[in-house]
Amino acid sequence: MIKYFELPLSKIGRLEPLWTELNEIHKKDSKYFKPHFINMTFKKRVESLKLYNCTNIKIFVCSEKSILIGYAIAGIENQTGEIESLIVKSEFNGNGIGKKLVMHCNDWFNDQKCNRIKVGVAFGHENVYEFYMKLGFFPKMTFFELVNKE
């Protein structure tokens, strides 16, 4: 049986194996920014999340037999909710787990009276567009970033 619960920020280290799996997917899929994902560590990612104070970030997780199989990290800044990170182990895809994690985020955003809810998708990872579009998210704008040519 799959259990859903909120993970305290103090226990974020439990996400490292799943985060690493997600980072590997982004490394593989990235066409222009592989170095970003190669150089990104879990520690650096956790530090970047500290831009939110503890009241503005939630971690929703799910487990099966006490093993974490997915998570969603949600943050709020200036009344804008953002799904910062989402992964479900591939062997559990197609079971509605990702949808349920997104719904936990959206419920929190709505409780906090967010006037905007968004999610960013790394270029090269467009295979998740259909998933997000089924949940009511649609591409609004594409941002371009200069690739550092060293």
Two tokens, residue 99: 């949808």
Statement: the pTM of the whole predicted model exceeds 0.85? yes
Q: From first to last of its 150 residues, what are the pLDDT tens digits of the chain?
A: 999 999 998 899 999 999 999 999 999 999 899 888 989 999 988 888 876 666 799 999 999 999 999 999 999 999 999 999 999 999 999 999 999 999 999 999 999 999 999 999 999 999 999 999 999 999 999 889 898 755
* DSSP, residue by residue, 79-98: TEEEEEEEEE-GGGTTSSHH
20 token code pair: 């690493």
Write down the pLDDT at residue 98.
97
* Extended beta strands in the chain, E state: 2-7, 57-64, 67-77, 80-88, 116-119
Q: Which CATH class is domain 2-134?
A: alpha beta
How many residues make up the chain in this entry? 150
Considering only CA atoms, which of 58, 73, 56, 64 is closest in space to residue 16? Answer: 73
Measure CA 113 to chain center: 20
Domain limits of the chain?
2-134
Predicted local confidence at residue 49, as pLDDT: 80
